[in-house]
Structure 1
Amino acid sequence: MKRQYFPTTTTFTLLWLAAILAPIVTLPPISGDENDQYTKCGVLFNCGSLTGIDYPFSAQDRPEECGHPGLKLACENNTATILINNLKYRVLELDQKAQILKIARSDLSQNPCTEELKNTTLDWGLFEYASSYMNLTFLYGCPSLGVMVPYQFDCPVKGIAERSGYVELGVGAPLSGFCHVSFVVPVSYPSLVNFTDLVQLEELVAKGFEVRYKVDSGACRECRNSRGRCGWDVTGKRFACFCSDQSAAESKTCAATVVGAAGSYSSRAPTATVAPSASGTYALMFNRVINFICLRKMAVYYNIRLRITLTNTKIYVGHVN
């Protein structure tokens, strides 16, 4: 049998009808122009005195793909907060250029009575102290000394009869052996000047201390220089560069080429090769099957003997001699 293509009126009619009836499946556009992460990570975090905050921080309007998992901000009563090792801190200042946070424990912002009887422990893989500091030891459930001391307070502790509490400079406090609970809080060393009573102690703790977050800023700089937006690969647990015309750059930069020290761009427009998705491939094959069925049905209707061959790329229509 010899496959032939014939320009008969009937054949053209069949092909025309098939072209009209077959595309019942609408293929999704194969395009990378719309990028959800790129758009969402363009939203900046603003809360109180903190404005214009972006990577490496995520927040309510900045999903987890927009920042390091250990640097998630929240806004409560117009005050920015951050969780570090399950302890909440108020973010007093944030210098993104120097990568320095000034934080203070939220539970000790008003008075030394707290239910969070935990040491102030940082995630040392992500943070380090940025300036000189000194630890204060808070002691709870202590017996009364019978004399007034500068840093004494009264706080009930669940399950403990003794209510007296004390604060001592440094760690390894002499009174710790007589008290039920103790924990350490760092404070800025310069703030210790004129520290004499409990009122100043509360102010001292409220002023917080500085930490530096250890995130590679160079990778983000390269991404921004290529007109990308910095983010986080949640699955791969690593830095990601989101581009306007593709889901994420395989490298740290987008398709635009950076030239010159000033960070200017080449005139070549960014390009991206986007492969069809699995759903698009299946829909395309289904479309071809519908074409195949329509042609067969019409051949029977017109009583025409056709040889119709369906391949991965084409539908061949030939007359059978």
Structure 2
Amino acid sequence: MHPILLSPILNLLLLLFFFYSLDATPSFWPNKETHEIQPKETPSVCSQTFACGPLQGLSYPFTGGARPGHCGPPEFHISCVDDSPELTIMSLRYRILELNPVHKNLRLVRSDLWNSTCIDKLANVTIKSEFFASNENDDTEVSIFYGCNSSTITPKPENWFPCNVNLPFNDSYYLIGTFPIHPIMGDVNCEIETTVPILKTAAAKLGANRSQFQEEIMEGFNVNYTNPYDNECAKCLNVKGGCGFDSNSSRPVCFCGDRVCDISGEMIAIGNSAWFLRFVLALDSVTIKW
């Protein structure tokens, strides 16, 4: 008996697989609803920009509109709601008033405080994460009190406003910085206290005119953003590629044309081709005896 090497057979198998793969649809594209890639989509769409309301020419790391979710980290997905751009940070929705990609700065306001002083979700706003952080040089905080038992007190303090948030009492108050507490509030109990950032310039105007609470809240506050994957994405430029994001591994990926590639420009094996290649390499290392 003589051992028969499989290399000629393997060459034939590889040739057949090559022609088969030309017509095969890659199976690794996840579905769009989980911010992953659809079978009919290709990474080339990530070279496009999109616009929403006052924001124009949005690109990496932001996604939305013509830029599907796989074109950037999920934390930077912008929803266009009635032609108004919105960003979700730590489960709260914010309307984007301004975006400066050069200084990586955003002007935000809570979406439920737009044209309203009664919030939908009773949660404090503390923006500090791997991606976003409040700008302490520009911002201060306003404390808002809801459900206060002061309905029989007259006249109302200048920092009072009515608000029905499904609490026993509808009286509400705000305090900002060193804003003086009205003496009458010493006997007032409130059900809920929450804090919201506000611009220091808006706080100064509010101190001069305390009836402008809603208007000054709508000026928003400043947030700095950071993309922790910037250094890795910069390597994509070495192969004239674009940067996207793989939600399965939670890591950035490079796009070369309409294919995912590594930083050397080599195409990455996808779908079933990876296991087939491992199978072929394993066969190439064995012999069969007759």
SS of the residue aligned with 1:58? Answer: coil
Q: Distance in 2 between matches of 1:237 and 1:80?
A: 24
Conservation of the 8 A alpha-carbon contact between 2:44 and 2:255 = no
Cα distance in 2 for residues equivalent to 1:71 and 1:93? 15
Residue aligning to 2:232: 219
Are the aligned partners of 1:91 and 1:103 in contact in 2 as well (CA < 8 Å)? yes
Partner of 2:261: 248
Given the two structures, how large is their TM-score scaled by the length of structure 2? 0.71
Question: In the alignment, is the contact (CA less than 8 A) between 1:135 and 1:169 conserved in 2?
Answer: yes
The match for 1:233 is 246
Deviations 1:29-86 (A, max 9, x none): 1899xx9553121221211111111111122432222111211101011110011111
Counterpart of 2:272 in structure 1 is 278
C-alpha RMSD of the superposition:
3.5
2:20 to 7, 18, 27: 27
Partner of 1:8: none
1:155-205 residue CA offsets vs partner (Å, 9 max, x unmatched): 1221x2211000111499975971001110001112222314454211111
Q: 1:89 aligns with which of 90, 94, 102?
A: 94
Q: Distance in 1 between matches of 2:42 and 2:102?
A: 23
CA gap of 1:112–1:121, structure 2 versus 1, over 3 A, is: same
8 A contact 2:42–2:259 mirrored in 1:
no
In 2, Cα distance between the equivalents of 1:233 and 1:276?
A: 13
Aligned to 2:195: 184
Whether the 8 Å contact between 1:37 and 1:247 is mirrored in structure 2 is no
The amino acid that maps onto 2:170 is: R
- Partner-residue secondary structure (3-state), 2:218: helix
Calculate percent identity across the aligned residue pairs: 27
State whether residues 30 and 276 of structure 1, in contact with CA within 8 Å, keep that contact through their aligned partners in structure 2.
Answer: no
User: Who is 2:212 aligned against?
Assistant: 200
Asked whether the equivalents of residues 229 and 241 of structure 1 are also in contact (C-alpha less than 8 Å), the reply is yes
Q: Which residue of 2 aligns with 1:162?
A: 169
2:54 to 44, 49, 74: 49
The 1:274–1:185 alpha-carbon spacing in structure 2 relative to 1, beyond 3 Å, is closer
CA shift in 2, pair 1:116/1:278, >3 Å: closer
Q: 1:96–1:142: structure 2 CA closer, same or farther, 3 Å change rule?
A: same
Paired residue for 2:35? none
Superposition deviation, residue 243 in structure 1:
1.4
Unaligned stretches of 5+ in structure 2?
1-15, 26-39, 277-282, 285-290
Structure 1 segments unaligned to the other structure (5+ residues): 1-22, 256-271, 283-310, 313-321
Residues 162, 197 of structure 1: alpha-carbon distance in 2 compared, 3 angstrom cutoff: farther
* CA distance 1:275–1:87, shift in 2 (3 Å): closer
Aligned residue pairs total: 243
Cα 1:170–1:281 shift into 2, 3 Å:
closer
Is the contact between residue 27 and residue 280 of structure 1 (CA under 8 Å) also seen in structure 2?
Answer: no
Does structure 2 retain, via aligned residues, the 8 Å contact 1:135–1:171? no
Distance 1:243 1:167, change over 3 A: same
Shift of residue 107, structure 1, vs aligned partner:
0.6
Which residue of the other structure, out of 147, 154, 157, is the alignment partner of 1:149?
157
Higher Rg of the two aligned structures: 1
Cα distance change of structure 1 residues 193 and 62 upon mapping to structure 2, 3 Å threshold:
same
Alignment of 1:85-164 (within 5 A): 85-130=90-135, 131-144=137-150, 145-158=153-166, 160-164=167-171
Q: Sort the Cα spacing of 1:31 and 1:226 in 2 relative to 1 into closer, same or farther, 3 A.
A: farther
Q: Secondary structure at the match of 1:41?
A: helix
Cα distance in 1 for residues equivalent to 2:90 and 2:193: 18
TM-score (norm 1): 0.65
1:138–1:167: 8 Å Cα contact kept in structure 2? yes
CA–CA distance in structure 2, aligned partners of residues 36 and 134 of structure 1: 44
Distance, in Å, in 1 between the alignment partners of 2:231 and 2:248 is 21
Which position in structure 2 is the counterpart of 1:209? 221
Output the CA distance in 2 between the equivalents of 1:173 and 1:231.
50
Deviation at 1:148, TM superposition (A): 2.5
* Partner-residue secondary structure (3-state), 1:157: coil
